[in-house]
Amino acid sequence: MKKTTTFRQMLTSPWLEFIMEAHNGLSAKIVEEAGFKGIWGSGLSISAALGVRDSNEASWTQVLDVLDFMSDATSIPILLDGDTGYGNFNNVRRLVKKLEQRGVAAVCLEDKLFPKTNSLMDHKVQPLDDIDEFAGKIKAGQDSQTDPDFCIVARIEAFIAGWGLPEMLKRAEAYHKAGADALLIHSKLSTPQEILAFTKEWNNRCPLVIVPTMYYATPTEVFREAGISLVIWANHLLRSSIGAMQKTAAQIYKEETLLNVEKAVVGVKEIFRLQRAEELDRAEELYLPKK
């Protein structure tokens, strides 16, 4: 099945589905091997891994290059966190075309302004895009698809911006009407209160996606009962890798030897396995002359 078709089915199936964050080819492969059916190409994680801020410091083609590697390394669908679409409707058109070519299954666009500010930064103003302008982006994205199963998820930031439920619903209605395949309802509360208030009013009119980074303590059953279609575990591979690398770096720096680290980390052969070294061995048998 095409990656796009798989992802569309995840959105429209009656079950709650889960996708896991990745930020490069390696972590994407790890997500697939863990059993997940899809990958979240997180803007925060990708920028952090590159070493820049989640403020569109990396250009959209630099992000695209990361996605190209992620897509090549895996066979499950990727939903790209496409920020604001990196400009206006016209930039969205190019983005959708390029994502399709590179085997990315879907993109999530958020109704904020370029360059973006990360939604979890409490102290920041989070200005929202004009509703009609953003609806135009969604329409333009839809019209640029050549694969009808490519999906566009509209991420509504009105809770994040402090505008409350009425604005959320107004925007949800507009983006749904503009053709969004799903809505991502974002909240940075530590409880699912905003999410549940929305799902109650929205009444299942289209697939909903959530990111429970801040309300992580909510039992998953709550999301299931609320009719959510897709949960994004948004940045936890990156966060686990940071802690591990900091600990390893500190230990090697202090001890000036690998002796105690060697047993605590995977072997070099595990890197080779993840790189699919054995496939190259077989290909060399096939394509290189015997010497």
User: Which 48-67 positions form the footprint of its own copies (CB under 8 A)?
Assistant: 48-57, 59-62, 65
Kindly write out the interface string for residues 78-107 of this chain, putting x where it contacts its own copies by CB under 8 A and - elsewhere. --------xxxxxx-xx--x---xxx----
- Helices 164-178/193-202 angle, 10° precision: 50
Which of the residues 16 through 45 are near its own copies (CB under 8 A)?
18, 20, 24-31, 33-36, 44-45
Residue of 137, 171, 176, 186 that binds its own copies (CB under 8 A): 137
| Choice between 12 and 260, CB closer to its own copies | 260
Q: How far is the CB of 139 from its own copies (least distance, A)?
A: 6
For residues 149 to 178, the per-residue mask of contacts with its own copies, x marking binding by CB under 8 A and - elsewhere, is: ------------------------------
DSSP category for residue 153 = E
Q: What spatial distance separates the first Cα and last Cα of the chain, rounded to whole Å?
A: 40
CB 157 within 8 A of CB 111: yes
Nearer to its own copies, 1 or 52 (CB): 52
CB 39 within 8 A of CB 76: yes
- Site for its own copies, residues 191 to 250, rule: CB under 8 A: 212-213, 216-217, 219-220, 233, 235-250
Alpha helices in the chain (DSSP H): 3-12, 25-34, 43-50, 60-72, 89-101, 131-144, 164-178, 193-202, 220-225, 236-255, 259-262, 268-274, 277-287
CB 36 within 8 Å of CB 18: yes
> Which position among 6, 115, 169, 179 is part of the footprint of its own copies (CB under 8 A)?
115
Residue tagged 């690398």 (tokens): 245
Binding status of residue 6 toward its own copies by CB under 8 A: no
Least Å distance between CB 164 and its own copies? 21
* Shortest separation between residue 201's beta carbon and its own copies, angstroms: 26
Residue 182: CB minimum distance to its own copies, A: 20
Please give the full DSSP string across 198-225, using - where no structure is assigned.
HHHHHTTSS-EEE-TTSSTTS-HHHHHH
Number of other residues whose CB lies within 10 A of the CB of residue 111? 25
Of 5, 6, 114, 227, the one binding its own copies by CB under 8 A: 114
Q: Which CB sits closer to its own copies, 70 or 172? A: 70
**How far is Cα 183 from Cα 206, in angstroms, rounded to an integer?**
7
What residues act catalytically? 54
Q: Which of 210, 123, 194, 190 is nearest to 158 (CA)?
A: 194
Stretch that binds its own copies, among 5-13, 132-140, 148-156, 200-208 (CB under 8 A): 132-140
Both tokens assigned to 246: 């900091």
Q: 193 or 246: whose CB is closer to its own copies?
A: 246
The least distance separating its own copies from the CB of residue 84, rounded to whole angstroms, comes to: 11
Pick from 121, 166, 191, 205: which binds its own copies (CB under 8 A)?
121
Within 13 Å of residue 116, how many CA atoms lie on the same side as its CB?
28
- For position 136 contacting its own copies by CB under 8 A, the verdict is yes
Instruction: Tell me how far, at minimum, the Cβ of 274 lies from its own copies, in Å.
Output: 7
